[in-house]
């Protein structure tokens, strides 16, 4: 489960396009940030995606990806031309191909490596979808199959693309747009596959063209409601509408960290309930709450060199966003993680803090909130002053931000471990004991 949203220049404070996404995956499905340089390829060569090979293009652009460690593609990413894409799992009545094929994350990487604009990326995904379809397991330890929706943006435009098998509909964003784990396009769109309506009529999902509504006709009746997608999309949309015309990177950070549309008392508890979810998602017991926000990304697509804010770590409420510029390069963040604890990796070092906070979430968050927010404010302010600086200076600053965040998290962890553990709901405790044991967390 995930949430993705975008605000065009007519809705942001500085006129830039700002994109944001949480990647929600299994708690031990480590999140990885990678920068892949541009490359030339031999004519007629093939590229191996997560499961299948497809023809390679002669030149691929440099891409910055935020991805599950074991998947070739990415949940979200950007390229050297300032194109950015994020996907959502959507559940439809159309049959899901369980044999290996292209998965939603593969489409993202392929499109980013081959596109100079959002519109090119849109057409690129559509062409690949209509040629190869979509299919294959997208789950780490628990198999999961789904279709996909996307937000695709660049420095001027953004599109929503929603799919069901090889059918699709696309809608151009006009100001603010949010998607979650449900189809959202209704009876009107800007572009659609040829058979979109007839496919539904032939299967009795609607009687005639005049009655057709993409989301109503194609959405399944089990997983879509269980995902709580409509509530999460409503939350992110309303929070962005309240700030329309004043939206900033900081606004996007706040929305990605939201646990409810209204929480005036700050009473959120991650151990509460076995159903339901929020934009900042915390895992719990059972299949409905099996996902965790394992990584987050915000892209400020201003004229010139876009800046990308990434956590590289789980739960945006417990993480620090750090700046990265593609042309500057990715700071040294250590080796790639996998599904078990490794102190050498950025993701798993943070998990000690994240899972420590779950011992007493309210008091633990009191330890980090003020310093976390002031640190990010300083990063944002200083990054703005680097617009005229060279790539080497930006890389030094980016590395400094990652280092400062790590030092702060180490200090926070020491304080949090001194706070007394509070009782949590039994099923929640059982779930996290198992997560920690499977990941071989120290002391689990």
Question: What is the DSSP annotation of 326-372?
Answer: TTT------SPP-SS--TTSHHHHHHHHHHHHTTSHHHHHHHHHHHH
Residue from 2, 280, 317, 401 carrying the catalytic annotation: 2
The architecture in CATH of the region 3-327 reads 4-Layer Sandwich (3.60)
DSSP 8-state class, residue 423: P
Per-residue model confidence (pLDDT) at position 261:
64
Q: How many CA atoms lie within 13 A of 240 on its CB side?
A: 29
**pLDDT single digits (tens) 249-288:** 999 999 999 998 656 456 788 988 877 789 999 999 888 8
- The more confidently predicted of residues 69 and 99 is 69
Task: Say if strands 53-55 and 147-153 run parallel, antiparallel, or are unpaired.
Answer: unpaired
| Interatomic CA distance for residues 438 and 444, integer angstroms | 9
User: How long, in residues, is the chain?
Assistant: 444
**pLDDT single digits (tens) 178-191:** 999 999 999 999 99
**pLDDT single digits (tens) 133-148:** 999 999 999 999 999 9
Angle between helices 346-357 and 426-439 (to 10 degrees): 160
Q: Does the annotation mark 317 as catalytic?
A: no
| Interatomic CA distance for residues 11 and 242, integer angstroms | 11
| Interatomic CA distance for residues 400 and 373, integer angstroms | 17
Which of 88, 80, 83 lies closest to 105, judged by CA?
A: 88
Asked if 348 contacts 57 with a C-beta cutoff of 8 angstroms, the reply is no
Indicate whether 342 pLDDT > 60.
yes
CB-based contacts of 355: which residues, under 8 Å, 6+ apart?
A: 432, 436, 441
């Amino acid at each position: 489960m995930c949430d993705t949203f975008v605000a065009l220049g007519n809705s942001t404070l500085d006129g830039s396009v700002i994109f944001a996404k949480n990647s929600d995956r299994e708690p031990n499905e480590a999140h990885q940030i990678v920068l892949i340089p541009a490359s030339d390829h031999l004519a007629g060569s093939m590229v191996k995606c997560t499961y299948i090979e497809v023809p390679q293009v002669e030149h691929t652009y440099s891409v910055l990806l935020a991805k599950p460690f074991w998947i070739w593609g990415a949940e979200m990413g950007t390229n050297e031309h300032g194109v950015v894409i994020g996907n959502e799992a959507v559940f439809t009545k159309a049959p899901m191909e369980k044999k290996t094929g292209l998965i939603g994350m593969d489409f993202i990487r392929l499109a980013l490596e081959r596109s100079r604009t959002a519109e090119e990326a849109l057409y690129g995904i559509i062409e690949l979808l209509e040629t190869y379809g979509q299919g294959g397991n997208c789950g780490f330890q628990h198999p999961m199959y789904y279709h996909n929706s996307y937000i695709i943006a660049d420095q001027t435009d953004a599109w929503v693309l929603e799919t069901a098998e090889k059918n699709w509909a696309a809608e151009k964003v006009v100001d603010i747009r949010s998607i979650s784990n449900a189809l959202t396009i209704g009876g009107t769109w800007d572009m659609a596959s040829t058979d979109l309506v007839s496919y539904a009529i032939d299967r009795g999902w609607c009687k005639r063209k005049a009655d057709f509504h993409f989301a109503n006709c194609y959405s399944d009746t089990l997983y879509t409601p269980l995902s709580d997608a409509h509530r999460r999309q409503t939350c992110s949309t309303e929070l962005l509408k309240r700030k329309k015309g004043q939206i900033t990177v900081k606004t996007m950070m706040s929305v990605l960290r939201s646990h409810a549309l209204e929480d005036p008392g700050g009473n959120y508890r991650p151990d509460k309930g076995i159903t339901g979810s929020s934009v900042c998602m915390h895992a719990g017991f059972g299949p409905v709450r099996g996902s965790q926000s394992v990584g987050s990304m915000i892209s400020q697509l201003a004229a010139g060199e876009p800046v990308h804010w990434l956590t590289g770590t789980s739960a945006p409420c417990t993480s620090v966003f750090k700046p990265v510029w593609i042309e500057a390069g990715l700071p040294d963040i250590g080796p790639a993680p996998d599904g078990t604890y490794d102190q050498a990796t950025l993701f798993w070092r943070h998990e000690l803090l994240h899972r420590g906070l779950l011992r007493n979430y309210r008091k633990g968050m009191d330890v980090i909130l003020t310093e976390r927010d002031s640190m990010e404010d300083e990063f944002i302010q200083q990054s703005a002053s680097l617009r005229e600086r060279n790539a080497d200076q930006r890389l030094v600053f980016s590395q400094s931000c990652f280092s400062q965040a790590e030092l702060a998290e180490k200090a926070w962890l020491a304080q949090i471990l001194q706070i007394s553990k509070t009782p949590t709901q039994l099923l929640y405790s059982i779930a996290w004991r198992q997560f920690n044991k499977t990941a071989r967390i120290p002391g689990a």
